[in-house]
Amino acid sequence: MDSVNIFIKAVFIENMIFAYFLGMCSYLAISKTVKSSVGLGLAVIFVLTVSIPVCYLLENYVLKAGALSWLSDDFATVDLSFLSFIMYIATIASIVQLVEMVVEKFAPALYASLGIFLPLIAVNCSILGGALFMQEREYANVGEATVFAFGSGVGWFLAIVALSAIREKIRYSNVPMPLRGLGITFILTGLMAIAFMSFMGIKI
Amino acid sequence: MSTETTTAPVKVKVPKEALFSVKNKRLIYDPLNDNNPITVQVLGICSALAVTVKVKPSIVMAIAVVAVCACSNVIISLIRNIIPNRIRIIVQLTVVAAMVILVDQFLKAFIFDVSKQLSVFVGLIITNCIIMGRLEAFAMANKPWPAFLDGIGNGFGYGLILVIVSVVRELFGAGEIMGFRIIPESVYTAGYFNNGLIIMPPMALIIVGIYIWIQRSRNRKLIEPN
């Protein structure tokens, strides 16, 4: 039951885009067409679901204060948590590299359409943000951390697909010239985020 | 066809550039307006929106980004010729992460309450696209001094938006700026209320959207074709 709650919370209430604005850069840049945004969204879900459990294990068996006590009692007081940024980003960068190779091999069309943004998932704030939230919220076990990661990914996917659908339609509307492109996208995202705020009152 | 020239290429003596030549000054001024990292280059939006509820954390955040951006630009620019091209992203991330750890420890040591408010967003400076973007686009191809200026300029361009958004949000959301009351009590007794909506995260997006609107209607060459 707990993991269902964590999932729903991560998708709707603590949505990466609408509640924390994480991963906005690629969100705004790739959302021009639905097709490429679906591809990027799936890639983000995958990278999140793989890298956050790895970061969780790192955090709990290497980095946290006293986490090294499984090696020997001498390490019981070692606190490496100040290294967490470097460890997380190294983990994420290598997993992104892996995903890039797999996608290039098995789905060349998707690889071509994502272009530069596939390697840039490494610097997509939602991945590192997910890792840092995982660290801050102290999930009970790997399963919960994985569910949280998958939920965050699904939330990000929903957000980018919804925005790209709106942007495809808005091309036929008469937006004021200076607002076209980036400006109206910001305001659209703001309005969508206000809509998502209605989930905030839900207590689970 | 072509006559072979055997003369060695004449060495043109490049006059030494002044520290603050016109070109170097542009590196600082441009990001403040025409080439702003947030509103024109679309870089580093994530953290810009989340920390701008109050003015003080946004100023701290802006200073942190200026420091990280300038320092990592200089370091990458110094070692740009020995970085293997294939692994440059990981090298860049490592340099930036080291810088961010320094800043994070500094904040925790000296201004703990602000560091607590910024929570994960200090760590997220690592993935702030401004820093990565400037490293890729500028520091990898330029000497340390211009790279330093570019880092400072882009950091300030980012800080400018942060301060503008946070001033609007704190003024209308809480009636004060940096903790000082701006809207007097008498206005409240006359029936004025703080705008609770503007403290909510979505309004930051809308304020930036409106800022872009104003900027582009004053500077028409920034308008996107569609």
Q: A167-178, pLDDT tens digit by residue?
A: 988 888 888 888
- Do B174 and B57 meet the contact criterion of CB atoms below 8 Å apart? no
Identity of the highest mean pLDDT range in A143-157, B88-102, B129-143:
A143-157
Does residue A152 lie in a domain region?
A: yes
- pLDDT class of B5 with cuts at 50, 70, 90: very low
- Do B60 and B118 meet the contact criterion of CB atoms below 8 Å apart? yes
Does residue A187 lie in a domain region?
A: yes
The structural domain count of chain A equals 1
* Among A19, A94, A183, beta carbon nearest to B212: A183
Q: What is the pLDDT of residue A162?
A: 92
Long-range contacts of B38-41 (CB under 8 A, 24+ apart): B38/B157, B38/B158, B38/B161, B38/B208, B39/A182, B39/B161, B39/B208, B39/B211, B39/B212, B39/B215, B40/B222, B41/B130, B41/B133
Q: What is the pLDDT of residue B176?
A: 78
A70 or B210, greater pLDDT: B210
Q: Which range of residues forms the domain containing residue A124?
A: 22-197
Name chain A contacts of B119, Cβ cutoff 8 Å: 136
Does residue A16 lie in a domain region?
A: no
A86 and B98 in contact by Cβ < 8 A? Answer: yes
Report d(CA A26, CA A49) in Å as an integer: 18
- φ/ψ of A71, rounded to 5, equals -75, -60
Helical (H) or strand (E) element with B181: strand B180-181
Q: A with B: how many residue pairs have Cβ under 8 Å apart?
A: 147
Q: What is the pLDDT of residue B11?
A: 52
Question: A21 touching B, CB under 8 A?
Answer: yes
Report the gap between the CA of B129 and the closest CA in chain A (Å). Answer: 7
Which two structure tokens, joined as six digits, stand for B89?
């992203």
A15 or A121, greater pLDDT: A15
B97 and A22 in contact by Cβ < 8 A? Answer: no
B200 and A197 in contact by Cβ < 8 A? Answer: yes
Cβ neighbours of residue A51 closer than 8 Å, sequence gap 6 or more: A91, A92, A95, A127, A131, A149
Opening angle at CA B206, ends A36 and B170, nearest 5: 140
- Do B166 and B176 meet the contact criterion of CB atoms below 8 Å apart? no
Q: What is the pLDDT of residue B127?
A: 76
Q: B164-183, pLDDT tens digit by residue?
A: 888 888 888 877 777 777 77
Reduced 3-state DSSP string for A60-126: HHHHCCCHHHHCCHHHHHCCCHHHHHHHHHHHHHHHHHHHHHHHHHHCHHHHHHHHHHCHHHHHCHH
Question: A80 touching B, CB under 8 A?
Answer: no
Report the gap between the CA of A122 and the closest CA in chain B (Å). Answer: 8
Q: Which residue of A has its CA nearest to B136?
A: A120
Q: What is the pLDDT of residue A116?
A: 63
Does residue A12 lie in a domain region?
A: no
Q: Residue range A99-117: average pLDDT?
A: 77
Does residue A202 lie in a domain region?
A: no
Q: A155-170, pLDDT tens digit by residue?
A: 999 999 999 999 988 8
B120 and A132 in contact by Cβ < 8 A? Answer: yes
pTM reported for the whole predicted model? 0.79
Does residue A181 lie in a domain region?
A: yes
Report d(CA A138, CA A140) in Å as an integer: 6
Report the gap between the CA of B33 and the closest CA in chain A (Å). Answer: 15
User: Coil, strand, or helix at residue B39?
Assistant: coil
Does residue A5 lie in a domain region?
A: no
Name chain B contacts of A201, Cβ cutoff 8 Å: none
Does residue A17 lie in a domain region?
A: no
Name chain B contacts of A82, Cβ cutoff 8 Å: 101, 104-105
Is the per-residue pLDDT at A8 higher than 80? yes
Q: What is the pLDDT of residue B12?
A: 52
Average of per-residue pLDDT values in chain B: 80
Report the gap between the CA of B110 and the closest CA in chain A (Å). Answer: 16
